[in-house]
Amino acid sequence: MSATFLGMPGNFPKNSQKAVQDSQLRYNLRKATHTIRGKRASVVGELPDWAELRAAGKAIKDHTLRNLDRYLVQLERAVQDAGGTVHWARDAAEANRIVTALVKATGEREVVKVKSMATQEIELNQALAAEGITAYETDLAELIVQLGDDFPSHILVPAIHRNRSEIREIFLEKMPKTPEGLTDDPPALAEAARLHLRERFLRSKVAISGANFMVAETGTLVVLESEGNGRMCLTLPETLISVVGIEKLLPAWRDLEVFLQLLPRSSTGERMNPYTSMWTGAVEGQDFHLVLLDNGRTGVLADEVGRQALRCIRCSACLNVCPVYERAGGHAYGSVYPGPIGAILTPQLRGMGSELDASLPYASSLCGACYDVCPVAIDIPEVLVDLRAKAPHAAAEKAGMKVAGWILDDHRRLAAAQRIAAKVRGLVPKKRLPGPMSAWTDTRDVPEIPEESFRDWWERNERA
């Protein structure tokens, strides 16, 4: 995978430092994450069997990953039987070549797109542009990002870092035929986008999408969305090309009963998203192509701890609870996958060769909130710690981590360490650590050490 987000060099601490000084950004992010977080909690609370659904979702994904080769072959057969064509792509370059050739074969120079993280990951729009083909994003937020020459900052609401007056300015400047006297009222802005895009939908002969799920048993592809731009792209053009990561597979039709409950509630915090489209092969006379994308995924699959990241269904719940994401914003992660999932997925997909990717496993406080909300129970803190061990770091930090690992590994050692810490707490400096450990406290305060560890308190109170 090529380094995505070329406009963003540096590393996570550097990028996030800039972001935390942007008070507008912090306000927008805080409002958005807290609002969605609250909605999610209330609709998840409505389901008494949430824990069972989550366990099933996790197991279905793990079972699929374990048997991915078999299920991919089954999917391929089912899609072909239903009149579709299946292509395989080892990496971004190969996927881009396949899609470009398919578009060229239609003789078209314009394509419409449904929001898709896989095509962002492979930078398909840029690859198409290099061949003289223009790709138009049709999701409202993606349109705002594209017209603003900008990067998405959230999985679900990519333009959340923009406010209404900025959006109005982008529309006035970049959208042809914007209604005169356009206000910054959201309905007015949405109406302007509707007019702008409708013409394009009706004209376009080729569409490109991703998919939320693919069903091996039936060959069915599934797209969840809200606006209807997805339905427009999926149904109106003559040719449909879907680029989908190989991990998006589910074995059986029945498995959708789990994920159609897990995803909308975790994502937008709704009982169900406004529109879900499902299609199997070529339907209603369309020409259908499916491009199956590896691009580093099989490498992630080979890592025993890290492979759980491939369970991710891109709901974005982990972003909305992450104290680090809330302050740093999505751009600091320098990849299409921001937040906690980005911190574990990006360095695995791209490797930790760059400063940015090596810094991502540290973009977390390890508070565990991301694990608690994850609908497929990805233990993000566990993967972070594992990646930290693999990332290149300074000797001191490495030694510190080793000690911490040794202590945390054994509950007796941990209890002893906590007792010692409580005894010497008066001696530990309040803000800055001395010597080689000072690098650690440059960006953090030393946590306050309690007078008594929780374990000891519990013991004492249980005995009493």
218 binds, among ligand SF4, other proteins, none (CB under 5 to 8 A by kind): other proteins
60 counts as binding ligand SF4 under rule CB under 6 A: no
376 binds, among other proteins, ligand SF4, none (CB under 5 to 8 A by kind): ligand SF4
- How far is Cα 110 from Cα 163, in angstroms, rounded to an integer? 29
Q: 405 with 390: CB under 8 angstroms? A: no
Give residues with Cβ within 8 angstroms of 245, minimum separation 6.
118, 293, 295, 297
- How far is Cα 419 from Cα 414, in angstroms, rounded to an integer? 9
314 counts as binding ligand SF4 under rule CB under 6 A: yes
Among 4, 16, 28, 308, binds other proteins (CB under 8 A): 28
Among 376, 383, 384, 385, binds ligand SF4 (CB under 6 A): 376
Longest dimension (CA), the chain: 81
Region of 134-142, 323-331, 374-382, 420-428 interacting with ligand SF4 (CB under 6 A) = 374-382
124 counts as binding other proteins under rule CB under 8 A: no
- How far is Cα 19 from Cα 26, in angstroms, rounded to an integer? 8
DSSP H helix total and E strand total for the chain: 23, 10
Place of tokens 């400063």: 355
| H or E element at residue 243 | strand 239-245
316 counts as binding ligand SF4 under rule CB under 6 A: yes
296 counts as binding ligand SF4 under rule CB under 6 A: no
Q: Which of residues 173-202 bind other proteins (CB under 8 A)?
A: 186-187, 189-190, 193-194, 197-198, 201-202
Among 122, 223, 374, 387, binds ligand SF4 (CB under 6 A): 374
Q: Which of residues 347-366 bind ligand SF4 (CB under 6 A)?
A: none
Region of 219-227, 273-281, 308-316, 386-394 interacting with ligand SF4 (CB under 6 A) = 308-316
Q: Which amino acid is at 262?
A: L
268 counts as binding other proteins under rule CB under 8 A: yes
Task: Select from 406, 332, 321 the least CA-distant residue to 362.
Answer: 332
317 counts as binding ligand SF4 under rule CB under 6 A: yes
Among 17, 20, 30, 49, binds other proteins (CB under 8 A): 49
- How far is Cα 295 from Cα 95, in angstroms, rounded to an integer? 9
Q: Which of residues 165-194 bind ligand SF4 (CB under 6 A)?
A: none
Give residues with Cβ within 8 angstroms of 421, minimum separation 6.
428, 449, 453
Residue number, 315 or 358, with CB nearest to other proteins: 315
- How far is Cα 253 from Cα 261, in angstroms, rounded to an integer? 14
Residue number, 291 or 358, with CB nearest to other proteins: 291
336 counts as binding other proteins under rule CB under 8 A: no
Tokens at 320, concatenated: 């909305």
Q: Which of residues 398-427 bind other proteins (CB under 8 A)?
A: none
- How far is Cα 249 from Cα 245, in angstroms, rounded to an integer? 8
349 binds, among ligand SF4, other proteins, none (CB under 5 to 8 A by kind): none
154 counts as binding ligand SF4 under rule CB under 6 A: no
89 counts as binding ligand SF4 under rule CB under 6 A: no
122 counts as binding other proteins under rule CB under 8 A: no
250 binds, among ligand SF4, other proteins, none (CB under 5 to 8 A by kind): none
374 binds, among ligand SF4, other proteins, none (CB under 5 to 8 A by kind): ligand SF4
376 counts as binding other proteins under rule CB under 8 A: no
Percentage helix, strand, coil for the chain under 3-state DSSP, each rounded to 5:
55, 10, 35
Task: Select from 356, 270, 296 the least CA-distant residue to 7.
Answer: 356
What ranges in 216-255 are assigned the alpha helix state H? 229-235
Burial status of residue 344 (CB atoms within 10 A of its CB: 0-12, 13-18, 19 or more)? buried
Among 258, 373, 378, 384, binds other proteins (CB under 8 A): 258
Contact set with ligand SF4 (CB under 6 A)? 266, 312-318, 341, 373-376, 378
